[in-house]
Structure 1
Amino acid sequence: MESVEAVVAHIQALSGSHEEVADLHSLLKQSEGALRSRAARLGPFLHQLDPSAHTLGYLFLLEAYSSRPISRELDEKILPFIVGFINSCSAEQIRLAPEKFISVCKSLKDQVMQLQVPIRGITPLRTAIRKLQTSSEQLTTLHSDYLLLCLLAKFYKAGLSILDDDIFEVDQPRDHFLYCYYGGMINIGLKRFRKALGCLHNVVTAPMDALIVIAVEAYKKYILVSLILNGQVPPFPKYTSSTAQRNLKRHTQPYIDLADCYATGTFSELEACIQTNLEKFQSDSNVGLVKQVLSSLYKCNIQRLTQTYLTLSLQDIANASQLKTPNDAEMHVLQMIQDAEISASINQKDGMVSFHEDPEQYKICGMIEPIDSLIQRLMELSKKLSSLDEQISCDLAHLTRIGKERPRLD
């Protein structure tokens, strides 16, 4: 068993060329047992190495040093080592031992959570994700950890830096579930309900052989966000797994009841339903969303009026949408006009509201650039899907499975 001093000497001598680093990698794997058995003594040796010049060796020592049980006092001492390493390390060398790098980054996440300072881990983890990725289309196991820290720190906008990426490469299904679930929660925090609905939809409709807890929790929020955004919950798409279609509603009955009450358009019934299930909503930490569902019923009722009437008085709107006064109705209508949810004008003199057709004619020059950008993105997505389809159709494992299932399907 080599001493730590000898291992450090090898690291300093073999961190130059690709060939030397490959030899060093083999030596380090043979020395893992020695490093772990002396984990408590590795701190001083890290000072002898440069994380940018000796990335691979530093990583092996740091992973062994940070993986042992650590007290709260030692957390503060180890954090600078990890943060400094993530900022300085060579992306090429960490990809030689990605499981080690992920372990170090997860230690960072655990430590900032234990210290109750999740915001300190956000920037380092974002840097770690970019260094670990081979492209922005790859979902790493660190994505969900990063989003979790953004949620705990209530620094939602930081999550958008990776949520706005198009993801096509997923190694582990669990990573995808957590990424979409946390992404949905971050978008809810930013009131980007359409984006949130897309993330939660991906969890609910993802392939699953057995019902998982995260899908149940995602469906609860999916129901609430659907009501806030669209006033109704859509049926499951055909591609939703049979497991989800059979079981999700059974495990979310209070939320199904809420959606049924919402469909009646009666504020008192919806309020009574919320009170009946309030304890359940509280235990699920969904009370904030439920309150937004309640307030959105006014908006939904007003939108229904625009489908029937061209002109209504504020008093009629207040009566039909169950608002207390015409002033309340005016405030809601003005907010909906501002949010582009309806097109209308208010005559202050006689208290009448006129509903209009969508005034957007899509002829202005400002529309050309965003439409062109969207078309280009769709073309790139189409090419990507064609490439993935070709890869799957040539995959031996896929062809073997289809071959076995063909007699049953026939």
Structure 2
Amino acid sequence: MDELVSKLVTFPPQPPPSSPLSDSRYDESIKHHITAVGKIGDKSLLQQTPSGASALDIINPALNTVSYVYVLLAHINAAQKGGKGLGWEKVWGRIESFLESFDARQIRYLGKEFTHIIDVALKYARSTNQGLPPVAYITPESKLSTKLKYQDVLEYFLYSGMVYIGMRKWDSALECLENAVTYPAREVSKIMVEAYKKWVLVGLLLEGKLLHLPRYTSIAASKAFHTLGKPYESVAQIFETGTAARLKSEVEAGQKIWQDDCNTGLIFNILAGYQKFQIRNLAGIYTKITIPEVNHLTTSAETGSRLQSPALAEQLVRDMIAEGSLDATLSNPPGGPAILTFMTSGLKKSEKEIEEELQASRERIQVLAAEIKRTDRMLTYDKEYLKFVQKQKKNAKNGVLDQAIAGPDLDWNALEDEDIMAGVTY
């Protein structure tokens, strides 16, 4: 064992030389050491001291990386064959220690061996403690869960909606909250009422108006929602038809309600969104409008009045365009105020959406071309068409000029009177 260890620690030299090895000298020395250690058989590398320690307990992976790799591979091979050596748990511990501390310069010479160690580590990591799907062990029998009650389902929808609200994903939040609001429970719970209050505010942020409850909402639930959610419905109605000053006053009057319901953040978003909806609604009247006019025609519900300067209105418009909530462009003509131009072609489409539309148009054109080709073929071999061609030839021989240049004249008045219902059976 002592002889083995002495061979394993010959590189790098210890103590280090006074002057570091040159690159060429280092390259020559490490290659010689790799050749020497590579000739040592696994049986020798698996030797143990009288106390049961292996070479892995003696040599330092950070210092003697080359030697440690070969000894570690010997133990891995022994563990895979079920032979003498360290058990898999100890081998795994040695692999972890090695991967955390190996010398990067030495490992460059051991690409194949290093890759093998990585593969073994990955295979072992994936083969132990495989995670079971939750439905396999979270059952009433395992005592890790109890039978779900309808309140648990409602809480799931409510909390999901709150998460999406925090992420400002209003569409997803509205869907989750609506699932809680319309849940087919026998009695209206507090969770459903809380979900309705948030649903009103989120719908207001999305559509700018108080949304109607879905038709499948129970009558009892609708009555309870309208009664208990009256302050929120009032805010929504003022947002839709009232002034900024009135909306600000309504919000300030119900400050304690919003705090108790933990909806203050949503209310602040409502105030901030009031002027944004006013700006978007200008697109129904104007195609172009100057920023000073925007500032004059809109008001902020956060202050209850117009913004202090057109510059603030311009910054608000720029923010809306940047976040994608306003489909418009902003230009700065020389010597004049900035001009807001609303897009009249609808929402901007991504390159992928445009490509999909082009492909769909291409397919429609191909179908139409095939139909035209089929129709032309039918006309070419149609009995009535052939009669017409023969008549044209006869007229040409008799010196009667035909106005048609190519193909039949499609003007019904140019044809002789005939029974156009011939061949039709009843």
What is the TM-score normalised by the length of structure 2?
0.47
Identify the structure with the greater helix proportion: 1
Structure label with greater radius of gyration: 2
What is the TM-score normalised by the length of structure 1?
0.49
